[in-house]
């Protein structure tokens, strides 16, 4: 076995690999760019080597620098993680030349499967069912249109070297093919340094299901069940689970065997994933093979009990797989949420900055339930504009799908992040979504269920009761404590009415509260007439200043995030985010007399939706614009965002120019 | 006996109705509460005791003898806020527009006298039309006597004014002499002379809101310390503020029990200071992470934002926080920031509130605007305030402490009690670039050489150790342990005894 390995990656995956290496008694070497000087993976590693400036193309993507770092540190092998160099054939070749082991498949297998065009050819040869498409190289947009016409619409345009949704477009018409082809190609070039593209038929209402497999250098390959990753937003996976609610034993076996056949055909000898697109009728077509560890590998680890990284290291060192296919048994259900630095309330625009607060839920296993959080960040760390905006992967495992989802839901409620915007409210809302819970998924799920984007919802029913009760309990505790202040007048202690009115945004709930600071608090819901109905008993160790109220409500674990605002708190629970104010009856009556103020009208301004760099301002002062016209391009997180006019109008003033670095909500231009 | 009790009830009910239901409804329609409703919100349930309910004016001119309303346009009395005694007067806009008569003024004076004699805070809620013209010179006399009491109470008991409607002419000077002024957005304004007079005298056309609205006074004039959305929000925040304030200048700060541990370590503070010395960071993150429960009552949050001032607690006891804000103008000291902080420091010193100062200051702001505006004397106010203050003073230098601004920001030299520096601190006469360019003027032509000189200076002086070697810094501390250090220091300073030389009063450069 290796004594020391280098991890040619950063963020959560570098930390993930190091955890296993450490468990195996292998020393670890991290590499880092200027932007990652204080990153968690650097902190975790036994040693760390600096490899250049922040842009990946000048650091994490430079093969020579990684090889040099191996030589300098004496690392015998390299784990590439995912992304970066993980699927570059040249990388293992260069390592081999330097006498260093690549913890991944052999270069030939990467060449055969890593390239999406080549892999389709190989799959067809291995009799794996494939989607109709064009496997040659495409010269230009006109060529792309011709091919798309032949296949029939809709089609999907993809970067050959791509992954993670970058350089990918769906086109429903000739015009869209022409447009999409150019922009995809530009994105592909920028992201992967490779602008080869391909086009294939787009399957309507599809599901994304993939088979995890692992092979050794002795010709053994087993599959480790499937993962379903149908919950995607703009082709970026958001939630993954294993197993898939769609598959039956028969389909699982058929898919697994086809995947293994394909892997065998190319002499595959590490962990890899064969992705399929599946119809609702359980038909499936080969999509591509990823010759690396996938982001979502933890869900497979949870249901199989296999440490995929450990096995990758072992097979790379020449060991045989310890099991046969018949040894692989799936146990329970696992769900993973990807926590991204993006603003769900502003069409998921990227958000960067300092993690002022970062409090993940407690990890651990008990009674067949597990919470696992794979992360590469820490409180006080920085989400930088240079790399992937993923903050963490929250994984839960339980005996059933419902149990895993419930646990995920509660873990998300307890996951507290401040300083940047993040998608936890969206994920938490998703966990409650009836269609998600029913398992009737497709890759269009998010676009179909959230056509107008994401917004908080008004609490009702059980959620209203829980939030009212928690708000009332917090207020009760605060009042009780304020009564303990010194310098009070002698005599009768201050009285506080037990009847309270909880105002959650526009919703009001009358309650009756009793109980002491230490003991449980009893909150009775009151109807209009003042008569009591449901009684909730709450017990918690929450104290003012704690970011999350965690405790039992009617003996069920509940977590509610608590952010102080003037005279109240903002509460977040199951994707609901609401200001909460608790009044006495008199206060509520007087508060009701207060005028409702309209928010300032910002429709005359084009605001910068995220911190970023202005690439271009397309209009000049005095220009007439039509709704939908491109006004400016702002680049953030390596993505170009085109800002369009929401309605017709005339540009009055332009405040920004190309090259400006803007903060979120900076005024780019004003309309007349 | 029953009859007289009934008569009392009848008179009380009549008095409580102020100017009558129609005027109360009109007040509500304007988005404002009545004087008595406001007091109800301010005080603990049922704790308010009204005085002088039946006082009426004695004016017999202009037909006033036919118009009498018990209370005469102001509600006065006392009650408790979380059990602590507070005196209050609230102008009743429904009665003669809240205008001030002699009797009205006497009601306020009575409450002012009681508050001073009994050493408890006094709060004024303003919503009035100024002097009652019919009373003429009697009203002016009344104002003068109220003003005098404001002055005599200053520094003895906290005096707080909340402007919740019009406040003009003679009415403005009483709030102006109190410790803090709060306003309600859109429904309150304050000015010496109103838009009509302004138009006549200077020919300016201006609305009341533009002339003296909450926005103007919290961002431009700095007359007001904070503004709130509406009456309810403002009054509930006044309850919160009172929990921070001492009752008087003898009793010391109140204590609120907390579960926030004094030895809480926050590792995220070890990464607060960016690697790039020119990159800003938010000093409010540090404040939030150091004080109890992140509970910070900011004073003047929208004015001179390059310095942050406000109240917080450490181990349950009130402290005043003063901090340079690198996010705004790099945290530079200008005239506005100096005046803002100086007044806050003096309030804390009056009432025995320990001062915790966080320093990241690149110096004083250069320029004609500043110099013509009297930066020298404004800057001196802050220097003076810190130097004369005898309360416990704990200082933490997080990054820059350059030049004269270093001295001003509660340095050891002006009796800072415990002065800490983070390892990232740079205590120097100026930044490395500026210093090297002055010291090595002859090398200016050679960019290579001057860069070398800058690096040299940076290495030698851009750290806390030069100052620490001289004892100007008591200890260099880890950012993560800042809370623990400050808590310990404040505990150690609990019995600090320090008196300035006897004087009638000092002569701060006003």
- Whether B272 and chain A come into contact, CB under 8 Å, resolves to yes
Q: What is the mean pLDDT of residues A644-656?
A: 84
CATH number of B2-242: 3.90.226.10
pLDDT tens-digit map of A274-320:
999 998 889 899 989 999 999 999 999 999 999 999 999 999 999 99
How far is residue B276's CA from residue B153's CA, in Å, rounded to a whole number? 49
Q: From the list A355, A481, A594, which residue is nearest B31 (CB)?
A: A594
* pLDDT score of B441 more than 70: yes
Enumerate the active-site residues of B. Answer: 169-170, 404-405
Instruction: Give the minimum alpha-carbon distance from B267 to chain A in angstroms, rounded to a whole number.
Output: 8
* Position A189 confidence tier, pLDDT thresholds 50, 70, 90: confident
The partner residues of A559 in beta bridges, in order of sequence, read: A550
Nearest to B285 among A37, A356, A486 (CB): A356
User: Which residues of chain B are within 8 Å of residue A483 when distances are taken between CB atoms?
Assistant: 82-83
Strand order in the sheet with B122-126: B49-51, B74-81, B84-91, B122-126, B159-163, B180-184, B226-228
pLDDT of residue A626: 81
Q: Can you give the pTM of this predicted structure?
A: 0.89
- The residue of chain B nearest to residue A381, with distances taken between CA atoms, is B271
pLDDT at A638 over 60: no
pLDDT above 90 covers a percentage of chain A that reads 66
Report, in this order, helix, strand and coil percent for chain A, each rounded to 5: 30, 30, 40
What digits encode the pLDDT tens for the residues B478-506?
999 999 999 999 999 999 999 999 999 99
Asked if B229 and A597 come within 8 Å (Cβ–Cβ), the reply is: yes
Tell me B100's DSSP state. Answer: B
pLDDT at B349: 98
pLDDT at A523 over 90: yes
User: What is the tens place of the pLDDT at every residue in A327-368?
Assistant: 999 999 999 999 999 999 988 888 888 999 999 999 999 999
Contact list in B for residue A590 (CB cut-off 8 A) is 33, 37, 40-41, 231-232
Q: Is A584 on the interface with B (CB under 8 A)?
A: yes
Task: Answer yes or no: do A485 and B83 touch at CB < 8 A.
Answer: yes
Nearest Cα of chain A lies from the Cα of B383 at a distance, in angstroms, of 33
Which of these is catalytic: A87, A275, A288, A336?
Answer: A288
Strand segments (E) across A360-498: 364-366, 369-375, 382-383, 390-398, 416-418
Look at the block and give the residue holding tokens 């509260």. Answer: A513
Task: State which fold the B267-425+463-492 domain adopts.
Answer: 2-enoyl-CoA Hydratase; Chain A, domain 1 (3.90.226)
Tens of pLDDT, residues B153-167: 999 999 999 999 999
Task: Tell me which of B78, B81, B82, B269 to substitute to probe the interface with A (most A C-beta atoms closer than 10 Å).
Answer: B82
Q: Which of A418, A420, A436, A430 is nearest to A454 (CA)?
A: A430
End-to-end CA distance of chain A: 70
Q: Which of A142, A129, A151 is nearest to A199 (CA)?
A: A151
**CB–CB of B82 and A567 under 8 A?**
no
Displacement of CA A182 from its chain's centroid (Å): 27
> Is the pLDDT score of A492 beyond 80?
no
Asked if residue B191 has pLDDT above 80, the reply is yes
Give the Cα separation of A120 and A142 in Å (integer).
23
Helix (H) or strand (E) holding B78: strand B74-81
Does residue B469 carry a pLDDT above 60? yes
E strands along A438-591, which residues?
499-504, 507-514, 521-526, 532-540, 548-553, 556-565, 568-573, 576-583
Q: Is A288 a catalytic residue?
A: yes
pLDDT at res. A670: 86
- 227-256 in B: which are within 8 Å (CB) of A? 228-233, 236-237, 240, 243, 246-247, 251, 254-256
Name which of B85, B259, B269 is nearest A489 (Cβ-Cβ). B85
Chain B, residues 348-387, CB within 8 A of chain A, namely none
- State the pLDDT at residue B406: 96
* pLDDT of residue A647 exceeding 80: no
Q: What is the pLDDT of residues A77-110, one digit of tens each?
A: 999 999 999 999 999 999 999 999 999 999 999 9
Q: How far apart are CA A325 and CA A345, in angstroms?
A: 45
Distance from CA of B448 to the nearest CA of A (A): 23
Partner-chain contact A544 B258, CB within 8 Å? yes
> What local confidence, expressed as pLDDT, does residue A203 receive?
81
Q: Sign (positive/negative) of CA torsion A616, A618, A623, A626?
A: negative
In order, the DSSP letters of A27-60 are: EEEEEE-GGGTT-HHHHHSSEEEE--SSSGGGTT
Whole-number pLDDT of residue B445: 86
Residue A398 vs residue A520, higher pLDDT: A398
Residue of A486, A498, A580, A661 to mutate when probing chain B, most B C-beta within 10 A:
A486
Are A567 and B236 an interchain contact pair (Cβ–Cβ within 8 Å)?
Answer: yes
CA distance B82 to A481: 10
Is some CB atom of chain B closer than 8 A to the CB atom of A586? yes
Q: Which of A432, A421, A330, A416 is nearest to A373 (CA)?
A: A416
Residue A25 CB neighbours (<10 A): 9
Q: State pLDDT tens for residues B333-380.
A: 999 999 999 999 999 999 999 999 999 999 999 999 999 999 999 999
Residue B313 — φ and ψ, nearest 5°?
-130, 150
Q: What are phi and psi of B412, to 5 degrees?
A: -60, -35
Please tell me the distance from the alpha carbon of residue A212 to that of residue A396, in angstroms, as a whole number: 19
Q: Which of A494, A564, A587 lies closest to B232 in CB terms? A: A587
> By the CB < 8 Å criterion, does A597 face chain B?
yes
Interface test with A, best of B165, B213, B271 (most A CBs within 10 A): B271
Min Cα–Cα distance to chain A from B177, Å = 26
Domain spans of chain B? 2-242, 267-425+463-492, 432-461
- A528–chain B nearest CA distance, Å: 23
User: For residue range B293-345, what is the model confidence (pLDDT) as tens digits?
Assistant: 999 999 999 999 999 999 999 999 999 999 999 998 899 999 999 999 999 99
Cα–Cα distance, A13 to A63 (Å, whole number): 19
At residue A165 the predicted structure's pLDDT band, cuts being 50, 70 and 90, is low
Distances (CA, A) of B399 to B282, B467, B478: 12, 13, 13
Nearest to A485 among B37, B237, B256 (CB): B256
| Contact between chains at B259 and A567 (C-beta distance less than 8 A) | no
Residue A529 has pLDDT above 80, yes or no: yes
Least confident of A389-403, B250-264, B446-460: B446-460
Residue B338, token pair as written in the block: 């100096």
Cβ distance B83 to A590 less than 8 Å, yes or no, reads no
Q: How far apart are CA A258 and CA A554, in angstroms?
A: 49
What SS3 state is found at B38? Answer: helix
Residue A551 banded pLDDT, cuts 50, 70, 90: very high
φ, ψ of residue B330 to 5 degrees: the values are 60, 15
Using alpha carbons only, what angle is made at residue A590 by residues A587 and A593, rounded to the nearest 5 degrees? 150
Question: Which residues in chain B are closer than 8 Å to A380, comparing Cβ atoms?
Answer: 267-272
Mean pLDDT of chain B: 95
Flag if B240 and A379 touch (Cβ within 8 Å): no
pLDDT at A486 over 90: yes
Query: Quick check: B294 contacting A, CB < 8 Å?
Result: yes
Say yes or no: A497 contacts chain B, CB-CB below 8 A. Answer: yes
Q: Which residues contact B501 (CB under 8 A, 6 or more apart)?
A: none
Nearest CB neighbour to A545, from listed B45, B268, B292: B292
Q: Phi first, then psi: what are they for B509, rounded to 5°?
A: -65, 90
Question: What pLDDT was estimated at residue A34?
Answer: 93
Average pLDDT in the A190-201 region? Answer: 80
CB-CB under 8 Å, B243 with A485:
yes
Residue B214 is predicted with a pLDDT of 95
pLDDT of residue A188: 80
Distance, in Å, from the CA atom of B309 to the CA atom of B345, rounded to the nearest integer, reads 9
- Whether chain A has a CB inside 8 Å of the CB on B83: the answer is yes
Over residues A484-512, the mean pLDDT reads: 88
Q: Verify whether the Cβ–Cβ distance B186 to A495 is below 8 Å.
A: no
Q: For residues A56 and A386, is the Cβ–Cβ distance under 8 A?
A: yes
Please tell me the distance from the alpha carbon of residue B195 to that of residue A321, in angstroms, as a whole number.
88
Q: Determine the pLDDT at residue A485.
A: 93
- Confidence check: pLDDT of A612 > 80: no
| Average pLDDT score over residue span A174-189 | 84
- The reply to whether B267-425+463-492 shares the fold of B2-242 is yes
Cβ under 8 Å to A: B residues 418-447: none
Note the pLDDT of residue A639. Answer: 63
- The dihedral sign for the CA sequence A350, A355, A359, A364: positive
Residue in chain A closest to B293 (alpha carbons) equals: A545
| Contacts for A431 with CB less than 8 Å, ≥ 6 apart | A405, A408, A409, A412, A574, A575
Taking residues B109-125, report their average pLDDT: 98
Q: Residue A336, CB half-sphere, CA atoms under 13 Å: how many?
A: 31
Q: How far does B438 lie from chain A, in Å, by closest CA? A: 32
Quick: pLDDT tens for A200-248: 888 878 999 999 999 999 999 999 999 999 999 988 999 999 999 999 9
Q: Which pLDDT score, from 0 to 100, does residue B59 have? A: 82
Higher pLDDT, A519 or B175: B175
* Contact at CB, A487 and B256, closer than 8 angstroms: no
Ordered structural domains, chain A, with CATH? 4-103 (3.40.50.20), 132-201 (3.30.1490.20), 216-449 (3.30.470.20), 461-591 (3.30.700.30), 605-671 (2.40.50.100)
Q: Give the pLDDT band (50/70/90) at residue A669.
A: confident
State chain A's mean pLDDT as an integer.
91
CA distance A12 to B208: 57
Q: Give SS3 for A212.
A: strand
Q: Would an 8 Å CB–CB cutoff place A541 in contact with chain B?
A: no
Inter-chain residue contact A590 with B231, CB threshold 8 Å? yes
User: What would the mean pLDDT of B178-198 be, rounded to a whole number?
Assistant: 95
Q: Which residues of A touch B246 (CB under 8 A)?
A: 487
**Residue A356 at interface with chain B, using a CB cutoff of 8 Å:** yes
Contacts of B268 in chain A (CB under 8 A): 355-358, 378-380
- Using CA coordinates, name the residue in chain B closest to A354: B272
pLDDT greater than 80 at residue B94: yes
Residue A488 DSSP code: P
């Amino acid at each position: 076995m290796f004594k020391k390995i280098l991890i040619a990656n950063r963020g959560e995956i570098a930390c993930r690999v190091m955890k296993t290496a450490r468990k195996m008694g292998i020393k670890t070497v991290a590499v880092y760019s200027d932007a990652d000087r204080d990153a968690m993976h650097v902190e975790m590693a036994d040693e760390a080597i600096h490899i250049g400036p922040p842009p990946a193309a000048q650091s994490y993507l430079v093969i020579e620098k990684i090889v040099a770092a191996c030589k300098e540190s004496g690392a015998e092998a390299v784990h590439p993680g995912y992304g970066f160099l993980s699927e570059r054939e040249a990388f293992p070749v260069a390592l081999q030349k330097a006498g260093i082991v690549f913890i991944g498949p052999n270069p030939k297998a990467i060449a055969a499967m890593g390239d999406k065009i080549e892999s389709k050819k190989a799959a067809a040869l291995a009799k794996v069912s494939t989607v109709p498409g064009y496997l040659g190289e495409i010269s230009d947009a006109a060529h792309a249109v011709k091919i798309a016409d032949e296949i029939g619409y809709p089609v999907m345009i993809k970067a050959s070297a791509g992954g993670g949704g970058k350089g990918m477009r769906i086109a429903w018409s000739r015009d869209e093919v022409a447009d999409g082809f150019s922009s995809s190609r530009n994105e592909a070039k920028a992201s992967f340094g490779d602008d080869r593209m391909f086009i294939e038929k787009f399957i309507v209402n599809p599901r994304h299901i993939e088979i995890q497999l692992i092979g050794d250098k002795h010709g053994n390959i087993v599959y480790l069940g499937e993962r379903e990753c149908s919950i995607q937003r703009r082709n970026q996976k958001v939630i993954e689970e294993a197993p898939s609610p769609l598959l039956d034993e028969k389909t699982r076996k058929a898919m697994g065997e086809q995947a293994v056949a394909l892997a065998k055909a190319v002499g595959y000898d590490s962990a890899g994933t064969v992705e399929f697109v599946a119809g609702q009728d359980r038909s499936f077509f080969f999509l591509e093979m990823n010759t690396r560890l996938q982001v979502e590998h933890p869900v497979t680890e949870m249901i199989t009990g296999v440490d995929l990284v450990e096995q990758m290291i072992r097979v790379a060192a020449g060991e045989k797989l310890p099991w046969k296919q018949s040894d692989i048994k799936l146990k329970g259900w696992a769900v993973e949420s990807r926590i991204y630095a993006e603003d769900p309330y502003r069409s998921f625009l990227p958000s960067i900055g300092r993690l002022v607060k970062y409090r993940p839920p407690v990890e651990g296993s008990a009674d067949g339930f597990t919470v696992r959080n794979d992360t590469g960040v820490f409180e006080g760390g920085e989400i930088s504009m240079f790399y992937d905006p993923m903050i963490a992967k929250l994984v839960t495992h339980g005996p059933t799908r419902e149990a895993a989802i419930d646990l995920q839901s509660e873990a998300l409620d307890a996951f507290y992040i401040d300083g940047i915007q993040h998608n936890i409210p969206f994920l938490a809302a998703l966990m409650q979504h009836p269609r998600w819970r029913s398992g009737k998924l497709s890759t269009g799920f998010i676009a179909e269920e959230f056509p107008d984007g994401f917004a908080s919802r008004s609490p009702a029913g059980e959620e209203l009761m829980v939030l009212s009760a928690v708000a009332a309990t917090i207020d009760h505790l605060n009042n009780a404590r304020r009564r303990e202040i010194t310098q009070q007048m002698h005599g009768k202690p201050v009285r506080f009415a037990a009847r309270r009115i909880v105002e959650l945004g526009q919703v009001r709930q009358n309650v009756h509260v009793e109980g002491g600071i230490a003991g449980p608090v009893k909150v009775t819901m009151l109807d209009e007439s003042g008569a009591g109905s449901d009684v909730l008993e709450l017990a918690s160790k929450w104290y003012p200043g704690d970011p999350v109220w965690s405790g039992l409500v009617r003996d069920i674990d509940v977590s509610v995030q608590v952010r102080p605002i003037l005279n109240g708190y903002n509460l977040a629970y199951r994707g609901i985010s609401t200001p909460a104010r608790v009044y006495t009856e008199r206060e509520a009556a007087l508060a009701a007399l207060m005028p409702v103020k309209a928010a300032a009208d910002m429709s005359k301004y084009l605001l910068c939706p995220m911190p970023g760099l202005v690439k271009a301002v397309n209009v000049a002062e005095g220009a007439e614009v039509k709704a939908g016209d491109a006004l400016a391009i702002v680049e953030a997180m390596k993505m170009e965002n085109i800002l369009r006019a929401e309605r017709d109008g005339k540009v009055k003033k332009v405040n920004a120019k190309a090259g400006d670095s803007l903060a979120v909500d900076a005024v780019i231009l004003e309309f007349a | 006996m029953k009859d007289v009790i009934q008569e009392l009830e009848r008179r009380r009910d009549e008095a409580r109705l102020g100017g009558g239901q129609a005027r109360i409804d009109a007040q509500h329609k304007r988005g404002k509460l009545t004087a008595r409703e406001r007091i109800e919100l301010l005080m603990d349930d049922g704790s308010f005791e009204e005085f002088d309910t039946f006082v009426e004016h004695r004016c017999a001119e202009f037909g006033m003898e036919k118009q009498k309303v018990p209370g005469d346009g102001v509600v006065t009395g006392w009650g408790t806020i979380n059990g602590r005694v507070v005196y209050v007067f609230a102008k009743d806009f429904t009665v003669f527009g809240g205008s001030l008569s002699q009797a009205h003024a006497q009601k306020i004076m009575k409450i002012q006298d009681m508050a001073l004699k009994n050493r408890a805070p006094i709060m004024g809620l303003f919503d009035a039309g100024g002097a009652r013209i019919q009373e003429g010179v009697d009203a002016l006399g009344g104002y003068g006597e109220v003003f005098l009491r404001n002055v005599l109470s200053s520094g003895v008991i906290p005096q707080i004014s909340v402007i919740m409607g019009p406040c003009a002419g003679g009415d403005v000077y009483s709030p102006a002499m109190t410790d803090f002024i709060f306003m309600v957005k859109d429904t309150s304004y304050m000015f010496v002379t109103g838009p009509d007079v302004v138009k006549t005298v200077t020919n300016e056309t201006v609305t009341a809101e533009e002339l003296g609205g909450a926005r103007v006074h919290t961002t431009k004039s700095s007359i007001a310390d904070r503004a709130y959305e509406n009456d309810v929000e403002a009054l509930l925040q006044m309850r919160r503020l009172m929990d921070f304030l001492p009752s008087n200048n003898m009793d010391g700060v109140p204590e609120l029990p907390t579960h926030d541990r004094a030895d809480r370590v926050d590792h995220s503070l070890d990464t607060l200071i960016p690697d790039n010395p020119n990159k800003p960071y938010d000093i409010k993150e540090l404040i939030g992470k150091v004080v109890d429960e992140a509970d910070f009552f900011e004073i003047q949050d929208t004015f001179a934002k390059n310095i942050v001032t406000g109240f917080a607690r450490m181990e349950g006891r009130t402290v005043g926080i003063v901090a340079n804000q690198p996010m705004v103008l790099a945290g530079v000291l200008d005239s506005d920031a100096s005046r803002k902080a100086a007044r806050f420091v003096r309030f804390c010193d009056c009432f025995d509130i320990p001062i915790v100062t966080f320093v990241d200051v690149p110096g004083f702001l250069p320029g004609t605007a500043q110099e013509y505006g009297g930066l020298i004397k404004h800057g001196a106010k802050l220097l003076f305030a810190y130097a004369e203050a005898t309360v416990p003073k704990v200082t933490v230098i997080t990054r820059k402490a350059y030049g004269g601004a270093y001295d001003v920001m509660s340095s050891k030299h002006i009796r800072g009690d415990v002065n800490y520096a983070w390892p990232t601190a740079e205590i120097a006469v100026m930044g490395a670039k500026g210093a090297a360019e002055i010291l090595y003027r002859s090398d200016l032509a050679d960019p290579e050489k001057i860069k070398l000189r800058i690096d040299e200076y940076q290495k030698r002086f851009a750290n806390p150790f030069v100052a620490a070697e001289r004892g100007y810094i008591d200890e260099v501390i880890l950012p993560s342990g800042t809370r623990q250090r400050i808590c310990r220091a404040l505990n150690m300073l609990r019995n600090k005894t320090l008196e300035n030389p006897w004087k009638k009063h000092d002569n701060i450069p006003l």
